[in-house]
């Protein structure tokens, strides 16, 4: 038989699509060509495969070798096809039984000596292999643990091309990789603890609410008041990821090539610098990769010095903040990455930083302040749930000996509130919408009257109306209350207002 | 270009490669794309100037591996 086939997978967003590698060897002048919309890295597989095969002690056929990657319309990128191409070539020459390639998904980059290098997106590929009904997944040993963590497909980590050939011939028994047992309830011990933060009771409370319900926060205050310090302590109080969320987070990181080799259990906390580009934040590139907003999926995206970010860059956050995913269109394909984040931003109220400060005069003109605050668009501000003023600390707060509450205590309350939400609706409050929102956030009597008055007085938009209700729901959950009471709603409304942002 | 032969109504251009060993690759592999282009160009000129009555042409490559006493001769018809 002159045509042999191997099954492989390629990443599209965070999902793996099946790719069939067909190899035909026919009489003619020796040659090696690859068709099926390959990119440069796939074309270079020719040299790697040829050299790796001969350096592993096999013979590369001195005939006309044509590799077809099907389906032909799908763009193929990356070096992960090296191993399936090499094995299909060896199957034609009889070194590997062709039937052994039928039920195995194969991915891996070859080095010139026949060794295997890791690929990106191993977890996504394992999930793809399971979906496609492949029994086994053969990949580089460095990816094995990550791929095995999803279950449902037998994962075999191998070191060299020779080991892969022996394994498919049934000669040696490669140990099946199993998911590492890890304790999901394992607490997130960070060096930074809320116990170190003096004062700022209002901001601490706001961050607790934000962590519980996944709400977006904008902190503003003069330099040195502790905005960044507060934000850095947020990972320590976030609720643990559910198993489902864990898998999704790990898939995104795996697709970005940032996989840690096992399931990720801690909520991500991403703090990109304000010089970040639009595609760095949203994802993209000619070989698309998830951006920071996707890497922060189910976690926190912290944007320090919010107005310093490029305005066009910030506007790309609008879609993910509303829909929970980013859609990227490129020549190669249109992809969608999940991006359900809790946005935490910090900013100074004006260019000099001291507008509204009690101790130091602001040097900015009204026009400067307006321009500075105008860098953040209304639509983006409309997506913020909690506006928090972080004022300068007083002498008593700076020197006061009163010990602040440690993160571990806050984390327990947050975890309990999130648990309540998961039991009630399966998702955090920040993603409630439509009928489920109306049901979970029903108001009665006094609270209905208060809300009615607030809508008129504060000029709430349809979107901010929903956002206030969600925050009120979270505050009630933190309180262990079944219904939203007046004080919960009042606190939620309080977070809509900012002493300086006149919106 | 080593041989020009007639096969029915087809003119056959043959490149013959001999190697004493495979240290630098198979003899057939020595006919690179660059060499193929050269052979093609020569053949075109030859057809136009000397044999305009032929409507079909073909390129063959013969690889000879002469390692010691054992010779291996491989003939690839219509190679490119």
Interhelix angle A486-494/A445-458, nearest 10 degrees: 20
Domain that holds residue B28: 3-76
Give the chain B residue whose CA is nearest to the CA of A31: B29
Q: Degrees (nearest 5) of the Cα angle A428, A15, A153?
A: 100
pLDDT of residue A472: 95
The answer to whether residue A238 sits within a structural domain is: yes
pLDDT digits (tens, 9 = 90+) for A358-388: 888 888 898 998 888 888 888 888 889 999 9
Q: Is the pLDDT of residue A190 over 80?
A: no
The answer to whether residue A451 sits within a structural domain is: no
Chain A positions in Cβ-Cβ contact with residue B29 (cut-off 8 Å): 29-30, 62
The answer to whether residue A486 sits within a structural domain is: no
Rounded Cα distance between A247 and A252, Å, is 9
Instruction: Provide mean pLDDT across the span A54-65.
Output: 91
Chain A positions in Cβ-Cβ contact with residue B79 (cut-off 8 Å): 28-29
pLDDT digits (tens, 9 = 90+) for A73-116: 888 888 999 999 999 999 999 999 999 999 999 999 999 999 99
pLDDT of residue A330: 76
A28/B contact by beta carbon, under 8 A: yes
Rounded Cα distance between A443 and B18, Å, is 92
Mark whether A279 and A392 lie in a shared domain.
yes
Q: Is the pLDDT of residue A499 over 60?
A: no
A54/B contact by beta carbon, under 8 A: no
**What is the dihedral angle through the alpha carbons of A470, A472, A477, A483, rounded to the nearest 10 degrees?**
-100
The residue with greater pLDDT, A181 or A108, is A108
Mark whether A298 and A243 lie in a shared domain.
yes
Q: What radius of gyration do chain A's Cα atoms show?
A: 27
Mark whether A201 and A269 lie in a shared domain.
yes
Number of domains observed in the structure of chain A? 2
Domain that holds residue A20: 3-177
Mark whether A214 and A352 lie in a shared domain.
yes
CA-wise closest residue to B62 among B38, B31, B36: B31
CA-wise closest residue to A270 among A239, A228, A299, A230: A299
Mark whether A292 and A350 lie in a shared domain.
yes
Rounded Cα distance between A344 and A237, Å, is 14
Interacting residues of A439 by C-beta distance below 8 A, sequence separation 6+:
none
Q: Is the pLDDT of residue A260 over 80?
A: no
pLDDT of residue A195: 86
The answer to whether residue A369 sits within a structural domain is: yes
Number of domains observed in the structure of chain B? 1
Q: Is the pLDDT of residue A503 over 50?
A: no
Mark whether A213 and A71 lie in a shared domain.
no
Rounded Cα distance between A62 and B65, Å, is 13
The residue with greater pLDDT, A488 or A1, is A488
Instruction: Provide mean pLDDT across the span A390-400.
Output: 80
- In angstroms, the separation between the Cα of residue B58 and the nearest Cα of chain A is 13
**CB pair distance less than 8 Å for B76 and A27:** yes
Instruction: Provide mean pLDDT across the span A8-20.
Output: 92
**Which range is least confidently modeled, A183-187, A224-228, B34-38?**
A183-187
CATH of the domain at A342: 3.40.50.300
- In angstroms, the separation between the Cα of residue A59 and the nearest Cα of chain B is 12
Q: Using DSSP bridges, classify how beta strands A136-140 and A154-158 pair: parallel, antiparallel or unpaired.
A: parallel
Name the residue facing A62 among B26, B79, B80 (closest C-beta). B26
Mean pLDDT computed over every residue of chain A: 88
Mark whether A208 and A92 lie in a shared domain.
no
CATH of the domain at B12: 3.40.1350.10
The answer to whether residue A443 sits within a structural domain is: no
CATH of the domain at A27: 3.30.230.10
Mark whether A205 and A163 lie in a shared domain.
no
Mark whether A168 and A198 lie in a shared domain.
no
The domain boundary residue, chosen from A375, A405, A427: A427
* Strand ranges inside A319-380, DSSP E: 325-329, 334-338, 342-347
pLDDT digits (tens, 9 = 90+) for A432-484: 988 899 888 988 888 899 999 988 888 888 888 899 999 999 999 999 988 89
**What is the dihedral angle through the alpha carbons of A214, A215, A218, A223, rounded to the nearest 10 degrees?**
-30
pLDDT of residue A66: 95
Confidence of residue A4 (pLDDT cuts 50, 70, 90): very high
Chain B positions in Cβ-Cβ contact with residue A28 (cut-off 8 Å): 76, 79-80
List the beta bridge partners of residue B61. B15, B76
**CB pair distance less than 8 Å for B28 and A27:** no
Mark whether A171 and A311 lie in a shared domain.
no
pLDDT of residue A181: 59
- In angstroms, the separation between the Cα of residue B3 and the nearest Cα of chain A is 18
A29/B contact by beta carbon, under 8 A: yes
- In angstroms, the separation between the Cα of residue A13 and the nearest Cα of chain B is 38
Rounded Cα distance between A387 and A498, Å, is 6
**CB pair distance less than 8 Å for A29 and B61:** yes
List the beta bridge partners of residue A337. A326
- In angstroms, the separation between the Cα of residue A25 and the nearest Cα of chain B is 14
Instruction: Provide mean pLDDT across the span B61-67.
Output: 89
Instruction: Provide mean pLDDT across the span A250-277.
Output: 88
**CB pair distance less than 8 Å for A62 and B76:** no
Give the Å distances, CA to CA, from A181 to A149, A151, A262, A354: 9, 12, 10, 51
Rounded Cα distance between A88 and A6, Å, is 6
Instruction: Provide mean pLDDT across the span A315-323.
Output: 90
The residue with greater pLDDT, A270 or A149, is A270
Instruction: Provide mean pLDDT across the span A258-268.
Output: 83
The answer to whether residue A307 sits within a structural domain is: yes
pLDDT of residue A498: 62
The answer to whether residue A454 sits within a structural domain is: no
Provide the CA B40 distance to its chain's centre, in angstroms: 10
The answer to whether residue A252 sits within a structural domain is: yes
Chain A positions in Cβ-Cβ contact with residue B80 (cut-off 8 Å): 28-29
The residue with greater pLDDT, A318 or A402, is A318
Mark whether A169 and A203 lie in a shared domain.
no
**Which range is least confidently modeled, A118-132, A334-348, A359-373?**
A359-373
Chain B positions in Cβ-Cβ contact with residue A29 (cut-off 8 Å): 28-29, 31, 36, 61, 76, 79-80
Interacting residues of A358 by C-beta distance below 8 A, sequence separation 6+:
A391, A392
């Amino acid at each position: 038989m002159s045509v042999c086939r191997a099954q492989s997978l390629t990443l599209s967003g965070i999902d793996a699509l099946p790719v069939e590698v067909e190899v035909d060897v026919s009489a003619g002048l020796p040659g090696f060509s690859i068709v099926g919309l390959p990119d440069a890295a796939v074309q270079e597989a020719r040299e790697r495969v040829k050299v790796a095969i001969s350096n592993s002690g096999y013979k590369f056929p001195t005939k006309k070798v044509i590799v077809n990657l099907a389906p032909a319309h799908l763009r193929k990128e990356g070096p992960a096809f090296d191993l399936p191409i090499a094995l299909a070539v060896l199957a034609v020459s009889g070194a590997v039984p062709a039937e052994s390639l039928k039920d195995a998904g194969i991915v891996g980059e070859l080095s010139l000596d026949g060794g295997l290098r890791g690929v990106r997106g191993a977890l996504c590929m394992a999930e793809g292999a399971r979906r496609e009904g492949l029994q086994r997944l053969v990949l580089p040993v460095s990816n094995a643990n990550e791929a095995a963590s999803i279950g449902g497909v037998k994962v075999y980590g191998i070191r060299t091309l020779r080991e892969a050939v022996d394994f498919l011939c049934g000669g040696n028994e490669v140990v099946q990789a199993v998911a590492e047992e890890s304790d999901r309830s394992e607490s997130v011990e960070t060096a930074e603890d809320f116990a170190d933060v003096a004062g700022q009771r209002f901001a601490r409370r706001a961050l607790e609410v934000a962590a519980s319900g996944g709400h977006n926060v904008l902190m503003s205050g003069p330099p040195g008041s502790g905005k960044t310090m507060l934000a850095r302590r947020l990972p320590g109080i976030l609720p643990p990821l559910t198993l489902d969320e864990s898998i999704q987070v790990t898939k995104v990181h795996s697709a970005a090539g940032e996989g840690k080799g096992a399931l990720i259990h801690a909520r991500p906390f991403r703090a990109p610098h304000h010089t970040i580009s639009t595609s760095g934040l949203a994802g993209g590139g000619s070989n698309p990769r998830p951006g920071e907003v996707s890497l922060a999926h189910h976690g926190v995206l912290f944007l320090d010095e919010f107005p310093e970010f490029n305005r066009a860059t910030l506007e790309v956050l609008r879609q993910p903040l509303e829909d929970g995913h980013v859609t990227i269109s490129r020549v190669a394909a249109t992809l969608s990455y999940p991006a359900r984040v809790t946005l935490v931003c910090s900013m100074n109220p004006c260019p000099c930083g001291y507008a509204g400060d009690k101790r130091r005069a602001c040097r900015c003109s009204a026009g400067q302040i307006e321009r500075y605050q105008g860098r953040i668009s209304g639509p983006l501000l409309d997506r913020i749930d909690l506006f928090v003023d972080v004022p300068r600390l007083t002498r008593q707060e700076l020197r006061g000996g009163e010990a602040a509450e440690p993160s571990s205590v806050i984390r327990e309350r947050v975890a309990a509130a999130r648990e309540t939400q998961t039991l009630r609706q399966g998702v955090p409050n920040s993603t409630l919408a439509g009928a489920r929102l109306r049901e979970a956030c029903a108001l009665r009597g006094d609270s209905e009257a208060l809300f009615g008055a607030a809508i008129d007085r504060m000029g709430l938009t349809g979107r901010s109306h929903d956002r206030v209700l969600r925050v009120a729901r979270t505050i009630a959950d933190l309180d262990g209350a079944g219904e939203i009471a007046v004080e919960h709603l009042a606190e939620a409304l309080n977070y809509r207002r900012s002493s300086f942002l006149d919106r | 270009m080593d041989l020009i032969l007639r096969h029915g109504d087809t003119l056959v251009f043959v490149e013959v490669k001999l190697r004493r060993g495979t240290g630098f690759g198979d003899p057939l592999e020595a006919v690179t794309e660059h060499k193929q282009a050269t052979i093609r160009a020569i053949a075109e000129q030859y057809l136009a100037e000397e044999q305009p009555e032929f409507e079909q042409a073909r390129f063959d490559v013969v690889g000879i591996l002469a390692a010691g006493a054992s010779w291996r001769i491989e003939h690839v018809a219509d190679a490119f």
